[in-house]
Amino acid sequence: MRVHLCGVRGSTPSPGREFLRYGGHTSCIAIAHDGSARPALILDAGTGLRRVTGLLAGEPFAGTILLTHLHWDHVQGLPFFSAGDRDDARVTLLLPAQPDGASALEVLSRGMSPPQFPITPDGLRGHWTFGAIEPGPVKAEGFTVEAREIPHKGGRTFGYRVSDGHSVLAYLPDHCPTALGPGQDGWGEYHQAALDLAAGADLLIHDAFLLPDELAALASFGHAAADYAVALGRLAGVRQVLLAHHKPDRTDAELDSLAARLSTASPHAVVAAEGETLDL
């Protein structure tokens, strides 16, 4: 599979010269099958979703968007997705089933409707289908996806394991393992859902919002330390860890320092940069 990093920032976009190399768009990963230039599966719809249009060579989007959860930085790109907001688009949008029983369209409309926004999600052009999923297997655009619930503050959150039958990608962009206790090294528990999603994956894209010395003050925001992501990858037998969902004020220079500090880590750890493409 081919993995396009369209948005790797967390919480809010980060414009400015000090964020140019790693990018300022929020969470969005676009995945294409081997031999296809066009992504068919999108993980999260942050402001990075705008970049997906440029990958489609003027064609409409025809595929599925899977949301991990409903925080702003994972949905704000929806009304600005030009390739999905046209008469010939075909979009299936799936999100975690809500504890209160609200439908996918209803819960999305709570943040995207007047007076907060001019239209509701069903005002987008093209053929849009909205649905909610429970933990378990999902078939989407020729990919097999396993959804598991993981701890994160402020709403039900899923991590995803995506396979095309040859390669495996694990995606946990918002993950608060300290919610389950400090774990063996103080960075949070290596709990079964996270281990199952990551087990033997070719690539683990994981929340690296925090540094270890920030956990005491900021873990209550609902995120993980970069070092936890690497250790999880090692325990799960991952080939490569991609550190993502960067703190919005984490500058290029600071992310360079993080990359240098973890350059000899096992498994191989890389700091995600918007616009990069990875072939698994």
Instruction: Output the pLDDT for position 36.
Output: 84
Output the six-digit token pair for 180: 């389950």
Q: Which residues pair with 94 in a beta bridge?
A: 66, 131
Joined together, the tokens standing for residue 114 give 């007047």
The pLDDT score that the predictor gives to residue 35 is: 82
Which residues contact residue 274 at a Cβ distance below 8 angstroms, ignoring those fewer than 6 apart? 5, 6, 7, 8, 9, 22, 23, 24, 25, 48, 51
Per-residue pLDDT, 211: 97
Q: How far apart are CA 104 and CA 114, in angstroms?
A: 18
Nearest-angstrom CA–CA distance, 66 and 140: 9
The alpha carbons of the chain give a radius of gyration, in whole angstroms, of: 17
Cα(78)–Cα(49) distance, integer angstroms: 7
Beta bridge partners, 269, equal: 241
The pLDDT of residue 148: 98
CATH tag, 2-279:
3.60.15.10
pLDDT tens for each residue of 165-210: 999 999 999 999 999 999 999 999 999 999 999 999 999 999 999 9
Could you say which residues of the chain have pLDDT below 70?
none
The residues facing 149 across adjacent strands are: 158
pTM of full prediction above 0.85:
yes
φ and ψ of 94, to 5 deg: -125, 140
Q: Do β-strands 136-140 and 143-149 pair in parallel, antiparallel, or remain unpaired?
A: antiparallel
The whole-angstrom separation of Cα 210 and Cα 224 is 6
CA pseudo-torsion sign 67, 68, 70, 76: negative
Give the residue among 23, 25, 64, 91 at the shortest CA–CA distance from 160.
64
Break the chain into its structural domains and give their ranges.
2-279
| Separation CA 47–CA 9 (nearest Å) | 9
**CA–CA separation, 42 and 27 (whole Å):** 10
